[in-house]
Amino acid sequence: MSSFAIALIVLGCFFGGAILGLLIRRALPEHHLSPESKETVKLGTGLIATMGALVLGLMVGSAKGSYDTQKGEVTAMSAKIILLDRALAHFGPEATPVREELKAMTGRLLGVLWPDAREPSSPASAPSGSKEQIYDMILALAPKNDAQRSIQSQALTAAVDIGQTRWLLYQQAGSSIPPLFLVLLVFWFTTIFFSIGLFAPVNLTVIGCLVLCAVSVATALLVVLELDHPFAGLIQIPNDTVRSAMAQLGR
């Protein structure tokens, strides 16, 4: 389910809770709406709001941390791709097929990480053994002197690092936010909106305010969900670094 669909469901829960509170208010006896009752409900909702703020803060921190980590990994991998290409260029013309395969692999990687940038001939898939053939191609190079042997060793290390980062990004593709956190948070905030509606007068100003509050909280959760999927949606990691690296290959 997309982040927007979840946000719309959450928005419906919040606003529905507020409307339910407004409707139930009409059926309650007057003594249930006394100042003492209102004060007790305010204390309870204040406690729930505090817990909700703590959980929301944890979710934001987790999603932002995951986003920043993967962005740093993409940047580091792009730099290693360029360095590997330059090392192979210094090895000599024997490494030209390896450099061509490196450029092709970078194009496939771009399509796997960013589905919107995928070429028709590059279906999304997990890293596979066939995509790790660069390591075998580098290993098959026959160095003729100490300089080439040193370059081959450095190239092998860089190829391993690139492959490790690719697998790491693939394994991190899942959500970093436990679904239970999201369910509890929606339940708590729905309870708060219900409590607000229970003691609020029925007029357009109150209803408009409740709508704005519900939209505000729902969009906050939308931002968290978008950050948790950094390679798609509105808040995604730019693919400029990988494209820039690809443009440098083969020069």
Domain containing 170 equals: 3-248
Residue 120 confidence (pLDDT): 43
Domains in the chain, number: 1
Residue 149 confidence (pLDDT): 92
- Band (pLDDT 50/70/90 cuts) for residue 198 is confident
Residue 228 confidence (pLDDT): 86
| Residues in contact with 102: Cβ distance below 8 Å, sequence separation at least 6, in sequence order | 81, 84, 85, 88, 134, 249
Residue 123 confidence (pLDDT): 41
Tens of pLDDT along 170-195? 887 777 777 888 888 999 999 999 99
Residue 61 confidence (pLDDT): 87
Residue 249 confidence (pLDDT): 86
Residue 125 confidence (pLDDT): 46
Tens of pLDDT along 105-154? 888 888 888 876 554 444 444 455 445 688 889 988 888 899 999 999 99
Task: Give the pair of three-digit tokens for residue 224.
Answer: 């968290």
Calculate the average pLDDT of the chain: 86
Tens of pLDDT along 61-119? 888 888 999 999 999 999 999 999 999 999 989 999 999 999 988 888 888 888 765 54
Residue 117 confidence (pLDDT): 56
Residue with more model confidence, 29 or 176: 29
